[in-house]
Chains A and B, each alone.
Chain A
Amino acid sequence: MGIRFVLMVNKQGQTRLAQYYEYLTLEERRALEGEIVRKCLARTEQQCSFVEHRNYKIIYRRYASLFFLVGVDNDENELAILEFIHLLVETMDKHFGNVCELDIMFHLEKAHFILEEMVMNGCIIETSKSNILTPIQLMEKAS
């Protein structure tokens, strides 16, 4: 299925955005997020960006105070996901203009809409920034 979840977590380990592409109960999600965050945040810059946890492989990347974590299946291309995270950040940057943690917090639904245009059911839909953002900006004007 490819991508199983996308998480954005700040340096303190607080979740700022969570999107799951498979059903987990509230308790499972809380536990999983806690475990992953503890594992990933403890790693140093020099270590590789991949962590294996339970049956997930977590690919993470840090941008300033925000960690982007993507959980994938075992047969997913890790390097491509790393590139995908960068694309996600660039797209949000383009939309919000120098995106920061607060932008995502206060415009949670917009962040979700952007993600929704990029990933659906764990598969990548679109990788062109302007294609992703056109419908969002159109809707923004309309509403």
Chain B
Amino acid sequence: MNPFSSGTRLRDMIRAIRTCKTAAEERAVVRKECAAIRAAVSDNDQEYRHRNLAKLMFIHMLGYPTHFGQMECLKLIASSGFPEKRIGYLGLMLLLDERQEVLMLVTNSLKQDLNHSNQYIVGLALCALGNICSAEMARDLAPEVERLLQSRDPNIKKKAALCSIRIIRKVPDLSENFMSPAAALLKEKHHGVLITGVQLCTDLCKASPEALEYLRKNCTEGSVRILKDISNSSYAPEYDISGIADPFLHIRVLKLMRMLGQGDADASDSINDILAQVATKIESNKNAGNAILYECVETIMGIEATSGLRILAINILGRFLSNRDNNIRYVALNMLMRSVVVDSQAMQRHRATILECVKDSDASIRKRALELVCLLVNDTNVKPLTKELIDYLEVSEEEFKGDLTEKICSIVERFSTEKLWYIDQMLKILSEAGSHVKDEVWHSLIVVISNAADLQGYTVRSLYKALQTSSSQIGLARVALWCIGEYGEMLVNGACMLAAEEPVTVTESDAVDIVEVALKCHSSDITTRAMSLIALLKLSSRFPPTSERITELIMQNKGNLELELQQRSIEFSNIILKHKNIKTSLVERMPVLDESTYMGRKEVSSQDVPAVKTSKTAPSEALLNLPNGVKKPPAVYMGDLLDLSSDDVPATKPSTNDFLQDLLGDLAVPVSSGAPLSGGSDILMDLLSIGSPIQNDSSLSNSVSTGAVNSSAVSSLASLSSLTSPSISVSPEASIVDPLRGMDQIKRQPPSTAPIVDLMDGLSNHVVSVAGSEKLDFLPITAFENNSLKTVFSFTKFPGRPQVTQIKATFTNKSLNSYTDFIFQAAVPKVH
């Protein structure tokens, strides 16, 4: 006998495991036991097989691998004794890891046991089959199960019914065979058979429309009768739960009725009466009763019920909602969610109660209520609702603020009709929970501010006030910094006063002070500090008297450990010190951001969730990293064309169309901020942006770019000029085609080399090749790909018409869902 397998009894093993003080000790015990069991398995130890399997089940429950026990299960199942079979089947159900070969091996044993003369063994086999059956097994064993459905023993019948559910889920084609036996089950008296039969019918309705049709005809009466029988029959203690006869059967029947009555007036008509009876008769002082009422209300809402019945259901809902028990309130909110489509008018009555639930101390209830509030918002109630929610934001728990902020922002964005209201609400949110506000939300706020010329003064002053009181909110700080940089003079001179506005006196140095605080505050992150630097640069030209102080502040970051800040600091101080003559035009106010472009892009980008985040390293560093480290496929870069991803420069991103203007207006921003990293289109734009300033003033190039960017930009000066010069872009059509042609050249490079590097190195030759030799064959590129959507661009060129490129976009839906309202938007830079 094997020295190991003599070992411990199950009880002793559990004791040994329980006395373990650390996880390591437990692992050691388990390892020893597993070794013993393995040895017993290889010795084909008959005696202890039963006990070993019981041990394995325990070890499995603790979360250790037990796959080696599967064959033992098969052996036990094949043995003749009942106790062995029983533990064998149990082990099979628990330990199985869905490996096909094991399932194939067990099919034969199952078939034999299904035909066994002992009803308990048949029951075991049915139970195992119902829990683990695969599609293949379903096909092989369906006839046996069908036969057992007609058995006289209710215990066999009920298990066969549930087994059939598994079979038709695996192989829906088989549902035809089960339709009439299922309908017959509803005529039984045994509650176990009834509850399983009802579940089988419900599943058949889901599986095939024919079955639904058949069961509507043959089962509607039957299901009504079951409910009547339960409520009329005398007291049956076996199925009674706190005074209510078999609530479980009630609920299953009501579910089936929902399937039958959905969208069918006749079927709904025949169940209306019994639903009314259930809804009025069942008492609601016990959980079991409430469970039935809950299901009943859902069924009433789901079918073509009479209006009287609907009112009854909504009254029950109202009662639930005002209940003090949290469980009842939770399900009430759940019901409201589903009923809101049916009858939103009636739901509005409960608005105040729902709002109270948003403030509940229970996270589950809060979450439900918040979702519900978002469904209830409409144009008429949005203002009071938003006010309530924002007021609550002040006092809510920290962990809930994220969810709450997101929902409020989406409500405000969706329903805002006037800009002033929108800006006001956003400012309130930012000052309460600015750190939880998502980037795209404050980005779009900036777009709106930039478009609202008459509100800019008011906004910047309010932001200034808000920032003084809640400077720790990151989102608020960023928006405020951007606005102070852009509209600093309005802050000081009080232009565009609104009637209801309280005047504030802010001096120029006050404005610089608050930016300095943000720059130096320990809680500010790099992005915020970088934005402070830009704001300072802009203020230096808006407020000449403070220029010296600003220069000093900027210079302080010259030695900053963050490359991004260091670079900005050096570049900006160069601009201030050496290029006074162009500084004013350089830091002019940003051109108005194009709202429609931005909103359009936002929709597109919300489809592909994992937007590529711009890394915060400086361009030169990233250039070094890219070839070996960050290997982003070209697809990502192309995807970015439709995306907004750069964190750092909210201002440049919405304005692809105006990038050239941008460039002239605000040169420092796109080049120094790391935008070249963000995507193919941006790379292209940036290339142009490097090129054009050089054309304007080549002496600038040293302050604008560094490293590789610099040299390649200079070397390709000549070729770039051909891209940007008006000679190529004769017509608007050509101007659209041109950049894409350039892009295609980039993408044609083998994917193993990083696109950015290619772009820099091969800059001159690819542009030349565009202008010179015409290549007519272009490989298609994958423009965008995630798990649900793939977009491929293929290109055609026509000989003799080099300026025209025909792009064919093929969209492939990779998901199982069907897409509706699919919008494709392409942003293409203009070339002047």
Q: Which residues of A contact B (CB under 8 A)?
A: 1, 15-19, 21, 23, 25-26, 29-30, 33, 46-52, 77-80, 82-84, 87, 105-106, 108-109, 112-113, 116, 120-121, 123-131, 135, 138-139, 142-143
Contact = CB atoms under 8 A, between A and B. Distances in A.
Interface in B1-58: 10-11, 14, 54, 57-58
Given A77-B295, A79-B287, A131-B238, A48 B61 contact: no
B462 interface: no
A48 B287 CA distance: 13
Contacts of B295: 77, 80
Interface in B439-478: none
B82 A125 contact: no
B330 A78 contact: yes
Interface in B310-341: 326-331, 334
Contact of A83 (B58, B127, B130, B248): B248
A116 B54 CA distance: 16
Nearest to A17: B61
A18 B61 contact: yes
Nearest 5 CB-CB pairs, A to B?
A79-B291, A48-B326, A143-B83, A47-B362, A128-B238
Interface residues of B, number: 66
Contacts of A131: 155, 192, 238
A129 B246 CA distance: 12
Interface string B661-700: 0000000000000000000000000000000000000000
Interface in B580-638: none
Contacts of A106: 10-11, 14
A121 B131 contact: yes
Interface stretch (B158-166, B555-563, B706-714): B158-166
B120 interface: yes
Given A83-B288, A105-B14, 11 more contacts: A23-B98, A25-B97, A29-B63, A47-B326, A78-B327, A82-B291, A109-B54, A124-B195, A124-B199, A125-B158, A138-B120
Contacts of B163: 120-121
Given A15-B63, A109-B90, A121 B162 contact: yes
B385 to A, nearest CB: 23
B751 interface: no
A52 B367 contact: yes
B611 to A, nearest CB: 23
Contacts of B11: 106
A82 B199 contact: no
A127 B195 contact: yes
B86 to A, nearest CB: 7
B170 to A, nearest CB: 11
Nearest to B239: A128
Contacts of A143: 82-83, 86
A108 B83 contact: no
Interface in B152-208: 155, 158-159, 162-163, 165-166, 169, 191-192, 195-196, 199
Nearest to B368: A52
Contacts of B659: none
B87 interface: yes
Interface of B: 10-11, 14, 54, 57-58, 61-65, 82-83, 86-87, 90, 93-94, 97-98, 120, 123, 127, 130-131, 155, 158-159, 162-163, 165-166, 169, 191-192, 195-196, 199, 238-239, 241, 246-249, 251-252, 287-288, 290-291, 294-295, 326-331, 334, 361-365, 367
A121 B238 CA distance: 24
A138 B251 CA distance: 31
A131 B159 CA distance: 13
B130 A120 contact: yes
Given A29-B63, A128-B238, A142-B82, A109 B87 contact: yes
A103 to B, nearest CB: 12
B93 to A, nearest CB: 8
Contact of B251 (A30, A80, A126, A130): A80
A50 B364 contact: yes
20 contacts: A29-B63, A46-B362, A48-B326, A49-B327, A52-B367, A79-B287, A80-B247, A82-B291, A83-B247, A108-B57, A108-B61, A116-B93, A116-B127, A123-B162, A124-B248, A127-B239, A127-B248, A129-B238, A130-B238, A135-B155
A128 B241 CA distance: 10
A78 to B, nearest CB: 6
B83 A139 contact: yes
Given A23-B98, A29-B63, A139-B120, A48 B330 contact: yes
A79 B82 contact: no
A71 to B, nearest CB: 14
Contacts of B291: 77, 79-80, 82-83
A121 B166 contact: yes
A125 to B, nearest CB: 6
A93 B241 CA distance: 16
A1 B166 CA distance: 10
A127 B246 contact: yes
Contact of A48 (B97, B127, B327): B327
A126 B192 contact: yes
Contacts of B330: 48, 50, 78
A4 to B, nearest CB: 13
B302 to A, nearest CB: 11
B120 A127 contact: no
B238 A79 contact: no
Among B87, B93, B329, B364, the most chain A Cβ lie within 10 Å of the Cβ of: B364
A113 B676 CA distance: 64
Contacts of B130: 120-121
A105 B17 CA distance: 11
A61 to B, nearest CB: 10
Given A125-B158, A135-B123, A84 B248 contact: yes
B548 to A, nearest CB: 57
A116 B93 CA distance: 10
Contacts of B199: 123-124
A77 B192 CA distance: 19
A79 B294 contact: yes
A143 B195 CA distance: 30
